[in-house]
Amino acid sequence: MKKLNVVLPLMLILSMLLVSCQATPTPANDKLGEILSRGTLLISTDPAYPPQSELVENAQRPANTKCTSDQRTAAELHGFDIDVAVEIAKRLGVEPCFTTPDWTLIVAGNWADRWDISVGSMTITPERMENLYFTQPYYTTPAAFFVHNDNTTFTQPSDLSGKKIGACTGCTYDFYVAGTLQIPGETMNYVVTDAAFTGYETDLNALQDLALGDGVRLDAVLTAQPTGAGVISDGLPLKQLGDPVFFEYLAAAVDKASGKDPKPFVEKATELINAMHADGTLLKLSQQYYNLDLTTSAGEFDLSQLKQW
């Protein structure tokens, strides 16, 4: 009996050790596994880019959130990009948490895993593909020039050649004014040349300067048509100048230099976005925020032409 009493505890200890080993989660060796294990999706976006994304005034932060104190919860942001990001996180089964780094940091890559994905109306370009992987586009948007309501000098975009044009620094509108923009699937027609460009942190800042109407700072701003239309509806004394000058495909982006293999995550995010196209979720959001269908063409984009891997 004494011998059995010694063996039994040893067997129990070994059994407990085995159960403990089985219960310990396997360390995630790719970005998707890391996100699922963490239980949160870290998303970079712009806090001042309506109707795509903006802060919610006096928002109540949920008490049970997994987001850290330096991250924003879904309740604290609003907009088309925000809703798309929230839906991606929902379909992954994790909580969305948002960061708001400078745009130039996002497009430069080498995020050091400070966030997992950018859902911030980023256009697919060859330059950005050097540092980032792209998902299936979730919408398209026309780019247009805007001028002050009082302006009677300019009647079409080509009249802006040699004039003072503002746009976001390091974005597609910056590259278009410089005559260097390339977008897969699009043929560029540079109708404005030799412009004096002024870069801004956000499109909204450029549009606010244009609204001053003194003609000293800016003659025009190039931005997304829905963004210009949005500030006009909010009361800025601006108007669109002619037709859009190009269309862009906007997608979620993931850092190629992630410390964890990002490819399974990019593939999963693309799968989810395609499902959101198929079930009408993206179309519904587009109609909610823009009263337009900006998503169908994005769903038809041939992602394989990018040859990302």
For 32, phi and psi rounded to 5 degrees? -65, -45
Q: Is residue 20 pLDDT above 50, yes or no? A: no
- Using CA atoms of 230, 53, 132, 138 in order, give the dihedral in degrees to the nearest 10: -70
Q: Which CATH number fits domain 31-139+249-301: 1.10.357.10, 3.40.190.10, 3.30.70.20, 3.30.565.10?
A: 3.40.190.10
Per-residue pLDDT tens over the stretch 188-204: 999 999 999 999 988 89
pTM: 0.80
Fold of 141-248: D-Maltodextrin-Binding Protein; domain 2 (3.40.190)
Q: How confident is the model at residue 186 (pLDDT cuts 50, 70, 90)?
A: confident
Residue 13 pLDDT greater than 80, yes or no: no
pLDDT of 80 > 70? The answer is yes
Q: Span 258-283, mean pLDDT?
A: 97
